[in-house]
Amino acid sequence: MVNMTKRMKKIITFFLLCISVNSYSQKPKNIIVEYNPQSAFLQFVSVVRVHNKNNVLVYEDNYTDVNAFSYNSLIGKKTATLINLTEADYPLKFSLRGETLYTTNCNENKDIVFTLEKYNSLGTESLFACTASAEIRAFYLDNPETNDNVSSCDVISIKNKPITNYYYKHPVSGEWIDIYTVAPNAILYNSINTNDLNLKINEVPDLNNYYGPLFLKGSYTVDGLYDSFVTTQEGDAAPINVYSKTFETNIIIYNITPCTPVITTTSSQNFTSCSYSQDGAVTFTFERELQDGEQYEMALFYQNGAAVLDGNKTITKNSMTTPTTYTWTNLPSENYKLTYYTKKTVGSKEYLSNPPLQKRFTISSPTNLEFTVSANNPLCNNGATNLIIEAIGGSPPYFYDDLEGTTEIINGETKIKRIQFNPSDEQSNQVSIPLLNPKSVYTIKVTDSKFCIER
The DSSP letter of residue 93 is E
pLDDT value at residue 266: 96
3-state secondary structure of 246: strand
Give CA–CA dist 397/417, Å, rounded: 15
Instruction: Break the chain down into helix, strand, coil percent, rounded to 5.
Output: 10, 50, 40
Domains 25-138 and 263-364 share a fold: yes
Q: Give residue 426's pLDDT.
A: 72
Q: What is the mean pLDDT of the chain?
A: 84
pLDDT digits (tens, 9 = 90+) for 286-312: 999 998 889 999 999 999 999 999 999
Cα separation of 281 and 262, whole Å?
19
Q: For the chain, which residues score pLDDT lower than 70?
A: 1-25, 39-43, 65-75, 102-104, 145-147, 189-194, 231-237, 377-384, 436-440
- What is the pLDDT, as a whole number, of residue 1? 38
Topology of domain 25-138, CATH: Immunoglobulin-like (2.60.40)
Confidence at residue 185, expressed as pLDDT on a 0 to 100 scale: 80
One-letter amino acid of 69: F
Cis peptide, bond prior to residue 91, ω within 30 of zero: yes
Q: Which residues pair with 77 in a beta bridge?
A: none
**Going by DSSP bridges, is the β-strand pair 270-271/357-364 parallel, antiparallel, or unpaired?**
parallel
Q: What is the pLDDT of residue 305?
A: 92
pLDDT of residue 144: 76
Q: What is the pLDDT of residue 236?
A: 63
Indicate the domain borders of the chain.
25-138, 149-257, 263-364, 370-447
Q: Quote the CA–CA distance of 77 and 239 in Å, as a whole number.
A: 8
The residues near 424 (Cβ < 8 Å, ≥ 6 apart) are: none
Q: What is the pLDDT of residue 145?
A: 62
Strand partners, 82: 32
71 near 232, Cβ under 8 Å? yes
User: The whole model's pTM is what?
Assistant: 0.68
Q: What architecture is the 263-364 domain classified under in CATH?
A: Sandwich (2.60)
